[in-house]
């Protein structure tokens, strides 16, 4: 069901920090015309941790009503509570989401051993009306889900894949090796998209897709065609700008880059701050080097 490139869309905010649905509609219209296979609503780049639950439901509803149904919509439904995660999966399903993307609970991470995590995800998958994708993001959660744990969870009929943002290609390779072919392994960052694809990842969910969606999709196409040298060249070109809008300057830089390329990023919600002018010039220089401005 899931393959190719998805992008976790940003949530544009107006000056008063309310969600700017006009800007969001503009972005959805443009992304619908790209080669993306789908989008992720309420992903990390959507600043989901800064949204109220009511805003989250409103955002899901708006995106499903205003994005092409020819592409799939995955929704982030993570809460630290198992009960609340289950409830949110059911609400997202009712609104029309195709799948749920779920982080491990991590506030009490000292107690989150593999058995606790296993039971959490199985309990959620048992009751979720839509397929579940695991989301391994140790940089933010402080928890790395091992390949052994993921292989155990992959046997559940309603756990269909994983987005792995660890950057550990050995671990990602082990996941591909130890799971069935119908278990979808996605890279979680465009910085290692090519290595991930070459060891068997089915695609990726990448922030860079907000500003360079077709370039990310082109890399997948080149690998499928066996044009690895061209894929390597493209991967190397994307590394700098990808780092800037992810691990380097993050969401504020991603939103600034969107503004430069005809999308509408809007401002971040506090405590994040809009990108300073000197840093905007760094983003602009990187995009200029790619020849996309």
DSSP per-residue letters across the chain: ---EEEEE----B-TTSSB-HHHHHHHHHHHHTSS-SEEEESSGGGTGGGS-HHHHHHHHHHHHHHS-TTSEEEEE---SSHHHHHHHHHHHHHHT-SEEEEPPP-TTGGG--HHHHHHHHHHHHHH-SS-EEEEE-HHHHS----HHHHHHHTTSTTEEEEEE-S--HHHHHHHHHHS-TTSEEEES-GGGHHHHHHTT--EEE-GGGGT-HHHHHHHHHHHHTT-HHHHHHHHHHHHHHHHIIIIIS-HHHHHHHHHHTT----BPPTTS-PPPHHHHHHHHHHHHHHT--
165, 133 contact by CB (below 8 A): no
For residue 7, how far is the Cα from the chain centroid? 6
163 catalytic residue (yes or no): yes
76, 40 contact by CB (below 8 A): yes
Torsion of CA 153, 154, 159, 162, to 10 degrees: 100
Catalytic residue among 23, 56, 163, 255: 163
Positions annotated as catalytic residues are: 163
């Amino acid at each position: 069901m899931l393959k190719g490139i998805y992008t976790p869309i940003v949530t544009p905010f107006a000056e008063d920090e309310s969600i700017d649905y006009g800007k969001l509609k503009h972005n959805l219209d443009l992304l619908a015309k790209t080669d993306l296979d789908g989008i992720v609503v309420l992903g990390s780049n959507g600043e989901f941790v800064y949204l109220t639950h009511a805003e989250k439901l409103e955002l899901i509803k708006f995106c499903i009503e205003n994005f092409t149904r020819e592409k799939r919509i995955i929704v982030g439904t993570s809460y630290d509570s198992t009960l609340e995660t289950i409830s949110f999966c059911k609400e997202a399903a009712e609104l029309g989401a195709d799948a749920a993307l779920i982080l491990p609970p991590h506030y009490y991470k000292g107690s989150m051993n593999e058995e606790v995590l296993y039971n959490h995800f199985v309990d959620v998958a048992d009751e979720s009306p839509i397929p579940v994708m695991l989301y391994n993001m140790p940089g933010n959660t402080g928890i790395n889900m091992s390949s052994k744990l993921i292989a155990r969870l992959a046997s559940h009929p309603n756990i269909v894949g994983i987005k792995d943002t660890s950057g550990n290609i050995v671990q990602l390779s082990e996941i591909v090796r130890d799971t069935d072919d119908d278990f979808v392994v996605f890279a979680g960052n465009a910085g290692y998209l090519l290595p991930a694809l070459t060891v068997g990842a089915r695609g990726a969910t990448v922030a860079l897709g907000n500003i360079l969606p077709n370039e990310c999709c082109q890399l997948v196409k080149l690998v499928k065609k066996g044009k690895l040298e061209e894929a390597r060249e493209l991967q190397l070109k994307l590394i700098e700008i990808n780092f800037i809008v992810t691990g380097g300057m993050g969401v504020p830089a991603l939103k600034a880059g969107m503004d430069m390329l005809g999308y509408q990023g809007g401002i971040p919600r506090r405590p994040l701050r809009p990108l300073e002018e000197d840093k905007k010039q760094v983003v602009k220089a990187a995009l200029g080097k790619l020849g996309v401005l």
